[in-house]
Structure 1
Amino acid sequence: MKRFLLLPLLTMLLALVSTTGSARALNAPLNDDTIVVRLPNQATMTLYVKDRAQLRELRNYKLDSLMVLLDTYIAQAEKASKNSTSEQVTMEFYPAKDQPGKKVPEQIRITMHNDQTTDRPAKKGDRVDVSVGRVFGVTVEESNTDGNDRVSVRVGSSAKSDSIRTAERKAKQEERANRAVHSNFDIDLGLNALTNKQRDINGNSLDLRPVASRYISLNWHYDIRLGRKGSPLYLRTGPELAFNNYMLDNNYQFVNQKGVNQPDVTVLQKPAEAGRNLEKSKLAVSSLNLPLMPMLSFRDKEGKDSFRIGAGGFVGYRLGSHTKLKYEEDGNTKKDKDRGSYNLTDFQYGVQGTIGIRSIDLFAKYNLNHTFKDNRGPQANTISFGLSILQ
């Protein structure tokens, strides 16, 4: 589009904002945020605003001086566009830095679009996007389908035009999709259960309260692509800080029992005080795990995560553990906390799997090692399952 059209048309826009009745809208029904103006030279100007208050924001600028400034910058952008083979050329200018003390925009961004369609010859600068400061953006577009020029002026609260915003979003999505290593933080929220349970040396069964035996894990994962660019196959790894809570049922608590000339053994035992009812009796275990899990991760047409599935293994090490009791005594609520190993297995390993869509996964982890050391505690294997929430 010829640059000289911009100055008079936007000057007419100033008249539209400052006066009433200088131009009449078309008779066609329109949305509240659209104003179509037919100018005397048969050109059509379309103004898009959120409301009338946004239209009045244009008065904050001296549009005659602004148009002269824009005309200078557009000339520079047009020159750069003619020397470029790309379909889009964007330049940024900072008038406030160049002219300190004057009421001029802090930033002006100009994007020249080069029409490369096959049904018409290439023409430099067929469309110009101008974004001024943080108040409004101006889009000037030429259409020659019926021999008449049409100009669209878009007024928005963002300094970036829709086309620039879309291009930047797509560029970020493509950059992430092509990245060889993705890092992310997610949280596992779930429950613990025990399998392959055996009674302790006193014949007591290790039973848990299902809903109260919670599993939480804070995960810093790295998805490493396996194969060439665009491959959906990844290897997931990265540290996981996990917290397993085992809430006992049937008024039992964990106690270390030591025999003569024998190592201590962890057993299940009811309170020694007659009539004491344990409101809470749990064993809390923290561990640091490292998964090694191949997975397939697919993306939709917009480059966003859509579906993934994976299965593999993990290893880990117990960091700490403690028991916690809560009960009533003499009308007061008391809490006892005791730190110790309770003959738990230090080194952990197992298998895990995940399946998910968008930002939510379902996960399951099964410990192949016994929860307690052999012959030193009630034998069982831990299984954890629940939801993974991606951040």
Structure 2
Amino acid sequence: MQRAILTFFLLMAALLGGLNTAQAGGLSTRTVQKDTIVVRLPNQATITLTVRDAAQLRQMKNYQLDSLTSRLATYILQAEKTAQSATTDQVTLQFYPDKDQPGKNLPEQIRITTRRKSAHNNRVDVMLNKTFGVTVTTDENGSKSYNTGEGTSREERQAKRDSTRLRNIEKKRTSSDFVLDLGLNALVNQKALVTPTGPAERADLRTEGSRYINFGLDYHTRIGGKRSPVGLTFGPHFAFNNFMLSGNNKWVNQAGITQVVRETDGRQYQKSKLGTSSVNLPVMLRLQLRDKHFKNTFAMGAGGFVGYRIKSWTKLKYTTDGNTEKQKEDGSYNMEDFLYGVQGTIGYGGLELFAKYNMNNLFRENAGPDAQVVSFGLRLFGN
């Protein structure tokens, strides 16, 4: 294979030198739309070079063909070996000769797509930069044929997309995403609160009205090699928790105790809720798997968070004499300031679910209902 490729580039060098001389006059007065050079090798293989214009054709002489020939043969051999041991029928490898030896006019990028060898065919596609391409095909008799040009087949277009995704994955060890979570809140592990006047009303929530909203930035740092599926996720988040009571009850702070009180003045509450806002810092270990085209598939994350309560308030909405009334009152409501807990995510493709468990009590000890908060829902952005 090395000898055939060497023959190809030596013939190209000779032909290009003659072509530049023979067409010098013609090229100065008109633009050549498409040029083709066909070279027959002694082993009956045919090499075809197709370019869009003469300027593109002249660029070929800028390459150091002797050095490129040896490199290209090594790259193709490596691609063929990789294809035989791969679990997929197609493998794409990328090489950057110009970065390895700058200043020698080598191609910026060589992309090789090879298929697993079968009884009838083993095909290797080689792309030099984004302009010139070489297709090496081996038939069942071991004869190789070479075709150089612009890849336009569906397989070649797919290989280009795969290569772009892989390049983006490998070059970014750390990336960031905007995160938006929408979900619901629930109280768990709730115990009866005993006040000086007796047991307090239980805090039963309206699930559909106890909403959870969270947004922020997630920074993802890869752990391991360039294709490692494991990473660390962290970033600042801002969360809003609503705890809407069921029935005709309201949140009341009396004598340093926050409790649920049933309304006795004849008002019928449409909404009666306690709201909080907090800033949190989650840290999670994340597993992100990908398919053979390097698209995201199954993902899972698990870790913990710490946070601080920024503000809390109550809201009431009711109707009096046909008029809708609203009341809002700010206060601490004896809620814990420092927050901590565990959280996790699980998803596939563009769909991801989250769950979050506050290990701290919602209220200070003996100052409100003894319960923890669970939040769960759908992650709209950030997956």
Q: Which of the five TM-score ranges fits, normalised by the shorter chain? A: 0.5 to 0.7
2:149 — aligned with what? 127
Q: 1:254 aligns with which of 235, 251, 254?
A: 251
Q: 2:332 aligns with which of 332, 341, 348?
A: 341
2:290 — aligned with what? 299
Whether 1:113 aligns to 2:137 is: no
Q: Which amino acid aligns with 1:184?
A: D
In structure 2, list runs of 5 or more residues that go unmatched.
1-7, 17-29, 36-51, 77-93, 95-106, 110-128
Please give the residue correspondences for 1:278-317 in structure 2 after superposition, counting only pairs within 5 Å: 278-317=269-308
For 2:53 and 2:222, locate their aligned partners in 1 and report how far apart those are by CA, in whole Å.
48
Q: 1:234 aligns with which of 220, 224, 231?
A: 231
1:388 — aligned with what? 379
1:101 — aligned with what? none
Say if 1:211 and 1:369 are closer, same or farther in 2 by CA, change over 3 A: same
**Bigger mean CA offset, 238-247 vs 219-228:** 219-228
Say if 1:121 and 1:229 are closer, same or farther in 2 by CA, change over 3 A: same
Say if 1:230 and 1:128 are closer, same or farther in 2 by CA, change over 3 A: closer
1:210 — aligned with what? 207
Could you give the per-residue CA deviations for residues 184-214 of structure 1, whole angstroms, max 9, x where no partner exists? 2232221111012123325211110011111
Q: TM-score, normalised by structure 1?
A: 0.63
> Is the Cα–Cα contact under 8 Å of residues 174 and 303 in structure 1 kept in the other structure?
no
For 2:371 and 2:31, locate their aligned partners in 1 and report how far apart those are by CA, in whole Å.
80
Q: Which amino acid aligns with 1:373?
A: R
For 1:110 and 1:282, locate their aligned partners in 2 and report how far apart those are by CA, in whole Å.
60
Please give the residue correspondences for 1:103-252 in structure 2 after superposition, counting only pairs within 5 Å: 111-118=131-138, 126-128=148-150, 167=160, 170-177=163-170, 179-200=172-193, 201=195, 202-252=199-249
1:332 — aligned with what? 323
For 1:163 and 1:228, locate their aligned partners in 2 and report how far apart those are by CA, in whole Å.
27
For 1:126 and 1:174, locate their aligned partners in 2 and report how far apart those are by CA, in whole Å.
24
- Taking only the aligned residue pairs, the percentage that are identical comes to 41
Q: TM-score, normalised by structure 2?
A: 0.64
Say if 1:340 and 1:282 are closer, same or farther in 2 by CA, change over 3 A: same
For 1:72 and 1:82, locate their aligned partners in 2 and report how far apart those are by CA, in whole Å.
19
> Is the Cα–Cα contact under 8 Å of residues 173 and 304 in structure 1 kept in the other structure?
no
Q: Which amino acid aligns with 2:206?
A: R
For the aligned residues, what is the CA RMSD?
3.3
For 1:244 and 1:110, locate their aligned partners in 2 and report how far apart those are by CA, in whole Å.
52
For 1:122 and 1:79, locate their aligned partners in 2 and report how far apart those are by CA, in whole Å.
23
Aligned residues between the structures: 279
> Is the Cα–Cα contact under 8 Å of residues 203 and 260 in structure 2 kept in the other structure?
yes
In structure 1, list runs of 5 or more residues that go unmatched.
5-63, 92-108, 130-138, 140-153, 155-160, 259-263
Q: Which amino acid aligns with 2:361?
A: H
Q: CA deviation at 1:340?
A: 1.4
> Is the Cα–Cα contact under 8 Å of residues 31 and 53 in structure 2 kept in the other structure?
no
Whether 1:350 aligns to 2:341 is: yes
**Bigger mean CA offset, 197-206 vs 287-296:** 197-206
For 1:110 and 1:172, locate their aligned partners in 2 and report how far apart those are by CA, in whole Å.
16
For 1:168 and 1:79, locate their aligned partners in 2 and report how far apart those are by CA, in whole Å.
29
Q: CA deviation at 1:281?
A: 0.6
> Is the Cα–Cα contact under 8 Å of residues 31 and 54 in structure 2 kept in the other structure?
no
Whether 1:67 aligns to 2:33 is: yes
Q: CA deviation at 1:166?
A: 5.2
Could you give the per-residue CA deviations for residues 273-319 of structure 1, whole angstroms, max 9, x where no partner exists? x2100000111111111112223221111111111223221111111
Q: CA deviation at 1:82?
A: 7.4
Q: 2:262 aligns with which of 270, 277, 295?
A: 270
For 1:382 and 1:216, locate their aligned partners in 2 and report how far apart those are by CA, in whole Å.
14
